[in-house]
Amino acid sequence: MELLAVAVAAVVAFFMALFPAHVTAPSVAMPEPQMRPRQVEVIFGGDMLFDRTVRTVTEQEGGDFIFSCADAMLGRADLVVANLEGPITDEPSVSQGTKMGDSDNYTFTQPLATAALLAAHNVRLVNIGNNHIMDFGVAGARATIAALTSAGVGYFGDPLQASVAEGTWGGVRLAFINYNEFGGSDEKTVTQVREAKARGALPVVYAHWGVEYATTSPTYVRDLAHRFAEAGAVLIVGSHPHVVQEHEIYHGAHIYYSLGNFIFDQYWDETVTRGLLLDVVFTQGGVQSIEEVPITLERDRRTCPYTSMDTGS
C-alpha cells in the first residue's frame, strides 16, 4: 500500500508539472481607443446676388444651375458661409432688366426661393449685415429673416438686432460676428468678439467694408481688422469690394480683407470675375488650416473653381 501511495503521488506530481493549476498569460499592450478629433470644416465665400441677370438665369435654367459647377466642393464642408447681398422678399424685382447706371440697377430683392436654394447647396449660414439688406426697408429685412429661418439657413448681422450666430459644429464652438461699415458699430463688434471669447467660443468676424473695386484695402479697414484681432478674433473675412484683396496674419489671426464675388453678374473686368473661397478647418484651439480656392464667375452665371474654368468663355 505504501508503494502504491508513493506511485500515485509521483504520477500526480508529474501531471501537475505538465499542467499547472494557474498559467499567467503573456502581457499584451492594448491600443488606446482613438477619439475622433474635434474639428469643423467651413467654406467661406464672398458676395452673393440672386437678383438682376442672375434671377433671369435661375428662372430659365433653375437655381441649381448656378451652383452646378461648385457643388462637389461646397458639399464636402460642414457648412458654407457667405454674404447675402440684399433682402429676400416676395416683392417684384426692380433691377431685373436694367442696365448699369440705371437708377434701379443697384436696388435688390431676391426671390423667396433663394433661401431654399442656399440650403440645398450647403450655404447654411449667411451674413446679412451689409449696405443692401435695407433696400426694401425694415419689412424687407424681416421678410429675409423669415425666409431664411423657414429654410433652415442661419444668419448673423441682422441690422435690427446686430445678431451673432453661435453654435457648436463637430465639437467646436464658433461665434460668427458681423461688422457692417454701413450702419454698424466697430465698438459693438469688438464687444461681441470679447464676449464670445469669454464664453469659450472661437470668434470669427465677417465684415462688410472697404472701397469697391480697389484691389488693396485702405488704412482705416486695416486698423479695424487689427482691433478685431486684438480683441480675440481668430479669423476675419471681408466682403463688399467685389474683388479679391490681400491677406495677412496679425496677432495670430488670419485676415482676408475681401474675398471678392461668389455669386454675381459683374464681367466688365477680370478682377470682378475672380473670387476666392476659403476652406477652413477649425479645432478647439483655433484655425488649424486654410485652403484658398480661386473661383471664376462664368458668363452663364455659374460659379466654378478656377482650375475647371473654360478659358473660352
Residues 123, 85 contacting (CB under 8 angstroms)? no
DSSP helix/strand/coil, 10: helix
Is a pLDDT exceeding 90 seen at residue 7?
Answer: no
- The mean-pLDDT minimum among 2-6, 35-39, 126-130, 133-137 falls in 2-6
Residues 128, 157 contacting (CB under 8 angstroms)? yes
| The pairing of beta strand 247-250 with beta strand 253-256 | antiparallel
Is a pLDDT exceeding 70 seen at residue 22?
Answer: no
Q: What is the pLDDT of residues 241-285, one digit of tens each?
A: 999 999 999 999 999 999 999 999 999 999 999 999 999 999 999
Q: What is the pLDDT of residues 57-93, one digit of tens each?
A: 999 999 999 999 999 999 999 999 999 999 999 999 9
Position 201 scores a pLDDT of: 98
Position 162 scores a pLDDT of: 81
Position 182 scores a pLDDT of: 96
* 208 phi, psi to nearest 5 deg: -115, 105
Is a pLDDT exceeding 50 seen at residue 3?
Answer: no
User: Would you kindly state where each structural domain of the chain is located, as residue ranges?
Assistant: 39-308
DSSP helix/strand/coil, 281: strand
pLDDT band at 155; cut points 50, 70, 90? very high
Position 167 scores a pLDDT of: 96
Query: What DSSP line would sit under 124-151, residue for residue?
Result: EEEE--STTTTTTHHHHHHHHHHHHHHH
d(CA 173, CA 263): 28
Q: What is the pLDDT of residues 28-65, one digit of tens each?
A: 443 444 556 799 999 999 999 999 999 999 999 999 99
Is a pLDDT exceeding 80 seen at residue 312?
Answer: no
Write down the H helix ranges in 177-312: 186-198, 219-231
Nearest to 49 by CA among 91, 107, 99, 103: 107
Q: What is the pLDDT of residues 208-219, one digit of tens each?
A: 999 999 999 999
Position 68 scores a pLDDT of: 97
Q: Residue 281: beta bridge partners?
A: 41, 289
DSSP helix/strand/coil, 190: helix
Is a pLDDT exceeding 70 seen at residue 295?
Answer: yes
Q: Going by CATH, does the domain composed of 39-308 fall within 3.60.21?
A: yes
What average pLDDT does range 204-211 have in this prediction? Answer: 98
Compute the radius of gyration of the chain from its Cα atoms: 29
Provide the CA 219 distance to its chain's centre, in angstroms.
Answer: 26
| The pairing of beta strand 286-297 with beta strand 39-48 | unpaired
Question: pTM for the complete prediction?
Answer: 0.87
Position 37 scores a pLDDT of: 75
Instruction: For the chain, give the percent of residues with pLDDT over 70.
Output: 86
Is a pLDDT exceeding 60 seen at residue 174?
Answer: yes
DSSP 101: T
> Cβ contacts of residue 146 below 8 Å, gap of 6+?
none
**What mean pLDDT is reported for the chain?**
90
